[in-house]
Structure 1
Amino acid sequence: MSKLYLYFIAIQRIVCLILFFCSIANQTQAQSLYEIVFEVGNISYKGFLVYFNEEEAYMRIGYYDNKKYNVVEVKYKSIIEKSGDYNTFVMIGSNPTYITKVDRGVTYNPDHFIWVWNDKYQHNEPYVTDDPHFHEDNITLAKSYREITIKDLTESYLRQFFGSGEEQYKSLLRMGTVVSGSTTATQANTNQNTNNGTNTNTQSNTTNATLHLVLAINTEIPDIGRSCSVDQKSMETEFKEISKAIGMPFKKYVVVGEEFTKANLEKTLANLKVGSNDVVIFYYSGHGFRWSDQTDSYPQLDMRYSEYTKLSANTSLSLSAVYHAITGKNARLNLIMGDCCNSDIGRNQFTNSSFMVSRSFQGAEVEKLKKLFLQSNGNLMFSGSSPGEYAWCNINGGFFTLSFLQALKEEIGFMRNESPSWERIVQNTKKNTQYKINNCDGCQRQTPISYMTINQK
């Protein structure tokens, strides 16, 4: 316990916390709801944890005290770090608020949860303490820790933590009713063929709008190819499942491998046939740069699959040129995104620091997806980095891409009561990217930039 104790003392200095991606939790569609049963001071507690993003999580905690049942809500922020031989994931509680009525002057010390593991040592259950100084004598192992399933979301289970009139309660009940027995966006594991320069179709007669997904992915480049491949799979799965959920025909166009050239990308864009009610999504993952005399704020896309090919105007294409080529086709909604560097003849930077991808997805509300993809019109150009900056990635994908998917999932989830907004997705993507960068060992500044003219009904 001595090594663990030293780490607990060290984390007292933490002020700004971020949820990182650890080896035991690495899926973008991991569930957001968890149950933790623990004891502190001879009192048994049951916690219902709702996780949204790096800075936003809360736990409803129910317990009996002198035969009176109490429920308190505690806010959480989190961090994962390596201390010596140990990896440590910490959730720090704050701002406890009683949901049930209590006597005047009654207070609650927020609980803190710590998962510790290495190659030889791992508990599924976290350690827990309500001691803000993390003294070793006050730290115990939780009784149990598990993901909450859709089947758990019954009235009797939820009433342990929520009042029947609360919006969270209604959302959770609706989640159990709508998601149970159905497949929603990004929940299915879909096997997809990658056809260079070709498209695949998914037919549907639900709407006359088609979703076109154009992917330009540098999978062959040695340094970041693996990360780019992860990005490709994530984006393909996300948008194909979204199209299925809202009944949109789906067409995919992929430029990868040794077909990853400027000529092939330009040909793919030129041959793109879209209708006035269609949605076009362009996504690039690879190296990016800017010319020394460039005035355009958006990056150049490096369209070389080999480092031995000369970098020139013949082997690169600006994100702005892609934007104009696509928006000129007059589809209803156009999203043009590039996860790449925006520095002088730069390279995407790879780091071994790994984050926790958002665990905010428990299922999508179809009506929210329809508002975003069927009831919106306009254009978005979104770059993962500002002029002079690198774009960072790891084996789990690009930080910008991970952050975009995280922000999207937050908007379409059951636990968000606001009407979904592309503006909020953009702002949360920027915020999530910067938090990852600020807490990445050795990473430099990365600030996504955007130009948006999207209107929503």
Structure 2
Amino acid sequence: MKTISKSGFRWGLLGIFFWLSLTFQTAWAQTLYEVTFQAARVTYKGFLVYFNEEDAYMRVGYTYQGTYHVVDVKYKSSSYQEDGTNFFVMIGSNPTYITSASRGMTYNPDHFFWFWEGDYNNQLPYVTDDPDFNENNVIQTKSYREVDAKELTPTYLRQFFRTDERQYKALLRMNSENNATLAQNNSSQNNNNSSQNTNQNSSNSSNNSNSSNTQKAKMHLVLVVNTDIADIGQSCKVDGTIMETEFREIAKAIGISFQKYTISGQNFTRSKVESTLQGIQVGRNDIIVFYYSGHGFRWSNQTDRYPQFDMRSSDYTRLTEQTALPFSSIDQFFATKGARLTLLLADCCNSDVGRNQYTSTTFMASRSYQGAEISKLKKLFLEARGKLIMSGSAPGEYAWCNVNGGFFTLSFMQALKEEIGYMRGENPNWYNIVKNTQNNTKYKINSCATCKPQNPIAEVKISN
């Protein structure tokens, strides 16, 4: 078996992010996993809840001397390379007994890791409670799998949670709402017209407070994505796909219409952006989502803290005021449109005639998702009023990206998914999303050996 050296392990803790693994690479994969392993004739079953690289926990259940115990262990994640082998590590800490424990009873936190050479093969992870990862103390797990929402029954959850715990109630709610959705989908297949009436009545009765906001509301998604630029075009394309998929599904989930406007490829010009914006018809109850992914910069004498968009798809085109577009001008334009909610996002550099920086360092695109609570989505998109403008980098900074997309974009979607998940609080708000986007981006940057600082900036004026 491959030996994990202490020097390599510690370098990993300082933080090169996860190499993209098959276990987690499905877009917006579930964050609930089950793992089993055996040591000293004791069988352990773990239930992992993963939010992001810095925030995860596992409930571990096991029977010892005839008594069943459950321990809560916190996890942080990292990875590194050594001698051509990729290591993917989850570090356990702060074990706490959930069940009663006799005096002096302790539990050494478990650490999990994967290793592979070349393309990832879907092997089972290894586990040890030895912080030095001595080869003699490492064993391979018996199983490791995703947990589907339909499995979250009271019987299953009581293996890991007390019935009075908030997490237990949230996971049980996730199961019941998943079952309701499946039943609704089956009903619609049998009788589409009847199902539509039922769904409408159910929606009205369950959330009368935002029914008026649903009526005649529309989500406008404007994507300005530099897909043709040689160095980062592929990463920008990934960003655009992520944003379109997620916001289209959000509009569908909350029951409002959706319209997309895309400026990319050969149409990636300032004039095309301006003409597209002028043609958008915005209602008083509408939602605007504007998203830019491409190169950004700032003029040497610029005082505005938000970047300029580099509207060139070729390095051979001269950079002038006609080929640049101030992000602030987008804010000023939509301020006159009167939409109920406006979200303006830009994933680009904010340095002196800078370039988005591409790194070959890959990581687990931790798009945390335990399933969306529709009530939380409605609070964010139907009950909220105001605007958010957010740039992926502060003045003087680069914006970093890789094959998975821009660090800022991934972090924003990660933060949004966390906020609407079953395992978070009951009162979602955009201020939390902004704060977590900033933290998630910083963590990615700090865990990239070749990256320089990137600190997203934002202005939030949103009320519910």
Q: CA distance change for structure 1 residues 420 and 30 in 2, over 3 Å: closer, same or farther?
A: same
1:250 matched to 2:280: no
1:266 matched to 2:274: yes
Contact 1:19 1:53 in 2 (8 A): no
- Specify the alignment match of 1:145 in structure 2: 144
Structure 2: distance between partners of 1:35 and 1:27: 17
Q: Aligned partner of 2:355: which letter? A: R
SS of equivalent to 2:44:
strand
Q: Aligned partner of 1:138: which letter? A: N
Contact 2:344 2:389 in 1 (8 A): yes
- Specify the alignment match of 1:356 in structure 2: 364
- Specify the alignment match of 1:301 in structure 2: 309
Q: Aligned partner of 2:448: which letter? A: C
State the 1:441 CA deviation: 2.7
SS of equivalent to 2:5:
helix
Q: CA distance change for structure 1 residues 166 and 420 in 2, over 3 Å: closer, same or farther?
A: same
1:366 matched to 2:374: yes
1:335 matched to 2:351: no
State the 1:120 CA deviation: 7.6
Deviations, residues 93-140 of structure 1 (Å, cap 9, x unaligned): 100000001111111111110111113884521111111222211111
Unaligned 5+ segments in structure 1 are 184-203
Contact 2:87 2:113 in 1 (8 A): yes
Structure 2: distance between partners of 1:315 and 1:34: 48
- Specify the alignment match of 1:133 in structure 2: 132
Structure 1: distance between partners of 2:80 and 2:297: 31
Q: CA distance change for structure 1 residues 439 and 344 in 2, over 3 Å: closer, same or farther?
A: same
SS of equivalent to 1:362:
coil
Structure 1: distance between partners of 2:432 and 2:385: 16
SS of equivalent to 1:435:
helix
Note the aligned Cα RMSD (angstroms): 1.8
Q: Which moved more, 1:21-30 or 1:352-361?
A: 21-30
Deviations, residues 73-101 of structure 1 (Å, cap 9, x unaligned): 00000101111121111111100000001
Q: CA distance change for structure 1 residues 84 and 207 in 2, over 3 Å: closer, same or farther?
A: farther
TM (normalized to structure 1)? 0.92
1:212 matched to 2:220: yes
Q: CA distance change for structure 1 residues 306 and 120 in 2, over 3 Å: closer, same or farther?
A: closer
1:392 matched to 2:400: yes
Structure 1: distance between partners of 2:66 and 2:178: 36
Deviations, residues 146-169 of structure 1 (Å, cap 9, x unaligned): 111122111111111111111111
Q: CA distance change for structure 1 residues 235 and 120 in 2, over 3 Å: closer, same or farther?
A: closer
Structure 2: distance between partners of 1:287 and 1:378: 27
Contact 2:221 2:260 in 1 (8 A): yes
Q: Aligned partner of 2:59: which letter? A: R
- Specify the alignment match of 2:291 in structure 1: 283
Q: CA distance change for structure 1 residues 120 and 27 in 2, over 3 Å: closer, same or farther?
A: closer
Structure 1: distance between partners of 2:149 and 2:15: 29
Contact 2:74 2:94 in 1 (8 A): yes
1:406 matched to 2:414: yes
Deviations, residues 281-310 of structure 1 (Å, cap 9, x unaligned): 100000100000000000000111122111
Q: CA distance change for structure 1 residues 437 and 207 in 2, over 3 Å: closer, same or farther?
A: same
Structure 1: distance between partners of 2:345 and 2:445: 19
SS of equivalent to 1:400:
helix
Deviations, residues 49-90 of structure 1 (Å, cap 9, x unaligned): 000011110000000000100001000001011111211111
- Specify the alignment match of 2:162 in structure 1: 163
Structure 2: distance between partners of 1:251 and 1:217: 16
Unaligned 5+ segments in structure 2 are 183-210
State the 1:14 CA deviation: 6.0
SS of equivalent to 1:403:
helix
Structure 2: distance between partners of 1:79 and 1:124: 18
| Residue-pair matches, total | 434
State the 1:9 CA deviation: 5.5
State the 1:445 CA deviation: 1.0
- Specify the alignment match of 2:8 in structure 1: 10
Contact 2:265 2:313 in 1 (8 A): yes
Identity over the aligned pairs, expressed in percent?
56
Structure 1: distance between partners of 2:95 and 2:376: 31
Structure 2: distance between partners of 1:143 and 1:9: 28
Contact 2:17 2:448 in 1 (8 A): no
State the 1:6 CA deviation: 3.9
Contact 2:15 2:449 in 1 (8 A): no
TM (normalized to structure 2)? 0.90
Deviations, residues 337-381 of structure 1 (Å, cap 9, x unaligned): 110011111111111111211242121000000000011111111
Q: CA distance change for structure 1 residues 70 and 6 in 2, over 3 Å: closer, same or farther?
A: closer
Contact 1:364 1:409 in 2 (8 A): yes
Contact 1:18 1:435 in 2 (8 A): no
- Specify the alignment match of 1:234 in structure 2: 242
Q: CA distance change for structure 1 residues 407 and 120 in 2, over 3 Å: closer, same or farther?
A: closer
Q: CA distance change for structure 1 residues 369 and 124 in 2, over 3 Å: closer, same or farther?
A: same
- Specify the alignment match of 1:20 in structure 2: 18
Structure 1: distance between partners of 2:76 and 2:234: 30
Structure 1: distance between partners of 2:64 and 2:7: 30
Q: Aligned partner of 2:379: which letter? A: K
Contact 2:8 2:82 in 1 (8 A): no
Contact 1:20 1:79 in 2 (8 A): yes
After TM superposition, list the pairs within 5 Å mapping 1:25-174 onto structure 2: 25-119=24-118, 122=121, 124-174=123-173
Q: Aligned partner of 2:97: which letter? A: Y
Q: CA distance change for structure 1 residues 21 and 366 in 2, over 3 Å: closer, same or farther?
A: farther
Q: Aligned partner of 2:219: which letter? A: L
Q: Aligned partner of 1:7: which letter? A: S
State the 1:417 CA deviation: 2.3
Deviations, residues 368-401 of structure 1 (Å, cap 9, x unaligned): 0000001111111100011111111111100000
Structure 2: distance between partners of 1:259 and 1:13: 44
